Structure 1
């Protein structure tokens, strides 16, 4: 038997063993509750606890310097890769773009199969993409932007079942990862929520389905509907007493678009619920009250969906301070005894420790700059609010803003260090009800939030981020490392003593979990906000991460554009690392230092048309950036020749010529609307702030801050 033949036989045997192992593996309650086995990363938070902690330690503080690229895979036909991949028995599963699913060989990066659910164009306008998947009993589950939930055969990618979780034509959409578990009756269950409360009338809910068939098992509404129609359960009847006016006409909000954690010990599912619809509580709930169950952690019986307990982080919220950030379960020694706890850092700037059996608040402290509340009263569990923060007496500049001190980018908890690692942010929000009255205001497409629209560019120094190591027992920071920009990726932590994070500047970084010292970095060729994962194949530990700049980070104007990832030329890729890896990453263009607008001197801007176009441009902000300053995958329209051509602009915007590249068509816009947009884009391309405008902007900021201080101390009504 010659050497080459032996090698071929050995390779075939390894492949056969891998395929056999893949066929035999069962991802069920036992697997998802096993904290000790780090072979797979089979759920959004790795295990039911969502600690995002891996027991693998082959890559550690001593060996991480040897970490190198094993392989990379380019995604040339998708626009957004802000997702958490899964890894099961040497196969990586990931959702990219509009829930396009890929199965990839974790050893080589070879695509095994792909599935495209074909999202309807109108739902593409939300442009968020998918944040993750679920895996259960040989099937992969994903939600779709247009409201569908589907299950695929993990081996072949064949569709097993599909169901519409929303209503045709409504404002709901899905971006979050489903969660799966097995009930007491032995049936697998998959739960999914939705988003949409920022875009119009939406009443939030979650729905649980049979994991094998897609049959609906139960649905739980987050906020009450019209009392005249009766209530679905006692929880909704109780919640209605905390609302006033005719909130149901606006939907109420409360969407569960991201965070759901299953607790096998109590057989509960914890929901992190969303903001109100509209944001402005003075319009939504004019008589006051807590607006349950907005911005809350809600515990439900996982088999039946019956209410167990809740804790509301922001009563009657008015700032988009949703609690849809990840929730970690852990048993931690507190006051000399082990406590079953839930750890939660929602948008509002506080870190909460809850008793997960009862929902009782254990502690809460600020993790960053917070000006809307002084503290959380531990006796009542309620925030002590700062006078004037609700902008009821005029506009308010508030920390944090709607982006939160912690957003959806997941945190991680290490039982080794006892620390929680949080991708933290500091950025203010400007809120102005502009004299809107609950007696006359009506929700519309142009005003779904009940607030004055924001049209200005956001400067690159308007926000900052950090990687924060937080002690949940002492409620104090262990260390904090500044990170670039105003958005960075989610994190994982390992027994090897490492925290991994992809960053906005294109660096993938490993940090010492105890000291905060940076130990390793790798230039990915583009920034990311996607969380990484780690897993083991053939006895080797891998770390993988998606890289690509798109989604929410792209809409913040100059704040997003500072990293230079502006335009479609930048890669969307999956990178996998292993000790002593020596693969070469394909070259990518250098960051854009400055966008140079194009112009046609013969184009005369009509001020009235430009003003009309400014309001129509709201539909373009998510992709093309506020004030037409792009910060991501979509091109900067000021520098694009397309808007200079009426025919070319019409072909793309109205007729959908670039739909295959992720640009939805807006066939509801007429020719007059397109012309107004062209005038607005030209106005922005020629805009240069005068010295007086800059001075006025600074003066307005100073006056606003002074006003907030006067209101805080009761010196101004």
Structure 2
């Protein structure tokens, strides 16, 4: 068996080499990507990590493409990726090869000059984990190996030349709610040992206690693990940090898990040999349920510094104590050395969901400054004496409901920001959207996470109108904590950004445009059609002395949830492309044809007799099982079909075969075999009710009036003129 595997590996490597020689293509990368390479911001030939370098500034020193030449930018090549559903991911570029993980962590290696596929590796996800449909946001590279996590909790390493599996390990427990979507990070500490670290998501799906784990980069053997929140005190504590954290919790939080997942932000600091973690929200969201006696709930919604060799806790700064709004701090963190009060300071720039920009001292964790980036109503300010937010009255839904800005989507979400040392500005894909929280029907004495839903607030099942939110590209001076400029972007969400020495900021938009902005003024200097919207961050790199800019384009991922707000651009259904686009000066390639944006027309079927009682039972079942892909209010906003326009729910046998029997698992539709025939029927009736529903003028007026009344009430509470 061993000889057979080695023979197959040698045969594949030989075939790749002969193919590269015969076609003039580069072989996959041979660069020694190590600490020296990842700490070298000046060398921008490669884009070798999630944020390019350890500092995660997403700033390239390349300037061949600049303000004067960007008008010559054209498509060099494109690669269609029609066999994956989600491409909201960050590629890497090393020695003329692009690596990216898309869909369910299917890793591709592509020649950066031509777009020719060199190899592909599919880890074959556990179908049960398809239900948490976010996809992979990125991967890591270290000394000839490519690393990424899988939705079902695995972490694996591939040989960068051949795509062969080197090692694989399960980072979670079989059958738990944890899953991986974020990119791992790799480094060598003071002890010289290479380590790869990964966290996980899942707190919004119930019973999850967050942690991060560091593994030996060569073997995959677990090295250390750090838990974010404490477990059951009766079982003892893993370390002093967990013992201290337990004093900030109350009730029996461990029964719910507590949350605190590190699903995105991790940054290695070679100057201090530290890992900085951005930690997640509480589980359940509602603090009254998980923490009835109050307390800060460490280390939720925090920046945490750990020793990179041992995982030992060093310091933390909590952005949202005892959070109750899904205000996680898992947004990217940027490391920089800047001059403050005439002296160089090593700092972290951090813009989490809660709407503030934080500047922290990297050595001590001390808060240097914090200011609102936009519309923020949950807190008046951050008190610089205590480092704590000054909350407004009523925002913790003391009276049973609250309306806040931002909402659970945050003012800044996972789409990464960039920092330019050239301009001194941070460029943030920002959004403005309210959050409505309601726990009127929740009784802490009887609430059960499995039965009543993992969030601990009333579920929202209705459509989200397309004018419910808006987005912008925000240029912010983090030292003066002032806005330099801001430009609106289409829709309620846009892609991550990069900045360059050429004075440019690149961003993909929801309307299908890829745009280059003047980094100093925000002016649009160039744009190109992608054929579909995107949330993915771009990258830039150099091959054979030529600068390229690449971006993954495709409409899927978290934006599928928000009904008409997500669907407004017309990227609905599988007919729109997923593709990798690469641009260079004087590029002459033609963009492949793609379907025009379209508006879904619900299927009208008078022969289907809707049972209102069944539809009412189906509404929460749809919300729990279907919304994440097919959209709230049965209005699809992404890759999955809009079920209002599908004939499948009209036929009970077909619906049963797909939903209960898994007939379309190969196309990414998971099997829900735990649903009974009666539950399936109720979901069908709810789908058909939504398909036939036509909002009346009166219903819209009532919705608007209710929204106004709630806003007035929140303002009166804030001013102390009424009690909650």
Normalising by structure 1, report the TM-score: 0.97
Aligned partner of residue 557 in structure 1, secondary structure:
helix
Residues 96-120 of structure 1 deviation map (CA, whole Å, 9 limit, x = unaligned): 1000000001011011000001111
1:369 to 349, 353, 375: 375
Residues 525-566 of structure 1 deviation map (CA, whole Å, 9 limit, x = unaligned): 000000000001111000000000001111100001100000
Q: Tell me which residue corresponds to 2:606.
A: 601
Structure 1 residue 445 displacement after superposition = 5.1
Aligned partner of residue 423 in structure 1, secondary structure:
strand
Structure 1 residue 600 displacement after superposition = 2.1
Q: Tell me which residue corresponds to 1:6.
A: none
Aligned partner of residue 426 in structure 2, secondary structure:
strand
Task: Tell whether 2:198 aligns with 1:192.
Answer: yes
1:692 to 698, 701, 712: 698
Residues 181-226 of structure 1 deviation map (CA, whole Å, 9 limit, x = unaligned): 0022211100000000001110000000000000100000000000
Aligned counterparts, 1:86-235, within 5 A: 86-235=92-241
Higher mean C-alpha deviation, range 62-71 or range 181-190: 181-190
**C-alpha distance in 1 between matches for 2:498 and 2:319:** 25
Structure 1 residue 661 displacement after superposition = 1.5
Q: Tell me which residue corresponds to 2:29.
A: 22
Task: Tell whether 2:648 aligns with 1:614.
Answer: no
Structure 1 residue 463 displacement after superposition = 0.3
1:526 to 507, 528, 532: 532
Higher mean C-alpha deviation, range 661-670 or range 119-128: 661-670
**C-alpha distance in 2 between matches for 1:224 and 1:274:** 14
Aligned partner of residue 484 in structure 2, secondary structure:
strand
List 4+ stretches of structure 1 deviating above 3 A.
11-16
Task: Tell whether 2:320 aligns with 1:289.
Answer: no
Task: Tell whether 2:321 aligns with 1:304.
Answer: no
Whether contact under 8 Å (1:396, 1:432) holds in the other structure is yes
Q: Tell me which residue corresponds to 1:4.
A: none
Q: Tell me which residue corresponds to 1:3.
A: none
**C-alpha distance in 2 between matches for 1:161 and 1:14:** 31
Residues 420-451 of structure 1 deviation map (CA, whole Å, 9 limit, x = unaligned): 00000000000011242333322115410100
Task: Tell whether 2:637 aligns with 1:638.
Answer: no
Q: Tell me which residue corresponds to 2:659.
A: 653
**C-alpha distance in 1 between matches for 2:641 and 2:128:** 20
Counting matched residue pairs gives: 704
When the two chains are superposed, the root-mean-square deviation of aligned CA atoms in Å is 1.3
Q: Tell me which residue corresponds to 2:471.
A: 465
Q: Tell me which residue corresponds to 2:456.
A: 450
Whether contact under 8 Å (1:284, 1:438) holds in the other structure is no
Task: Tell whether 2:415 aligns with 1:381.
Answer: no
Q: Which runs of 5+ in 1 are unaligned?
A: 1-8
**C-alpha distance in 2 between matches for 1:446 and 1:115:** 39
Aligned partner of residue 449 in structure 2, secondary structure:
coil
Q: Tell me which residue corresponds to 1:573.
A: 579
Aligned partner of residue 29 in structure 2, secondary structure:
helix
Aligned counterparts, 1:455-494, within 5 A: 455-494=461-500
Whether contact under 8 Å (1:392, 1:433) holds in the other structure is no
**C-alpha distance in 1 between matches for 2:650 and 2:342:** 70
Aligned partner of residue 381 in structure 2, secondary structure:
strand
**C-alpha distance in 2 between matches for 1:147 and 1:690:** 46
Residues 93-142 of structure 1 deviation map (CA, whole Å, 9 limit, x = unaligned): 00010000000010110110000011111100010000000000100000
Task: Tell whether 2:446 aligns with 1:440.
Answer: yes
**C-alpha distance in 2 between matches for 1:245 and 1:97:** 39
Residues 622-645 of structure 1 deviation map (CA, whole Å, 9 limit, x = unaligned): 111100001111111001111111
**C-alpha distance in 2 between matches for 1:445 and 1:90:** 52
Task: Tell whether 2:343 aligns with 1:348.
Answer: no
**C-alpha distance in 2 between matches for 1:136 and 1:359:** 29
**C-alpha distance in 1 between matches for 2:222 and 2:671:** 33
Task: Tell whether 2:267 aligns with 1:258.
Answer: no
Task: Tell whether 2:686 aligns with 1:680.
Answer: yes
**C-alpha distance in 2 between matches for 1:579 and 1:446:** 56
Task: Tell whether 2:631 aligns with 1:625.
Answer: yes
Aligned partner of residue 204 in structure 2, secondary structure:
coil
Whether contact under 8 Å (1:272, 1:297) holds in the other structure is yes
Whether contact under 8 Å (1:209, 1:218) holds in the other structure is yes
Q: Tell me which residue corresponds to 1:583.
A: 589
**C-alpha distance in 2 between matches for 1:114 and 1:689:** 47
Structure 1 residue 12 displacement after superposition = 5.2
**C-alpha distance in 2 between matches for 1:239 and 1:444:** 26
Aligned counterparts, 1:55-94, within 5 A: 55-94=61-100
Aligned partner of residue 638 in structure 1, secondary structure:
helix
Q: Tell me which residue corresponds to 2:278.
A: 272
Whether contact under 8 Å (1:81, 1:548) holds in the other structure is yes
Structure 1 residue 599 displacement after superposition = 2.7
Higher mean C-alpha deviation, range 284-293 or range 445-454: 445-454
Higher mean C-alpha deviation, range 369-378 or range 683-692: 683-692
Structure 1 residue 511 displacement after superposition = 0.2
Normalising by structure 2, report the TM-score: 0.96
Residues 490-523 of structure 1 deviation map (CA, whole Å, 9 limit, x = unaligned): 0000001100000000000000001111000000
**C-alpha distance in 2 between matches for 1:93 and 1:433:** 45
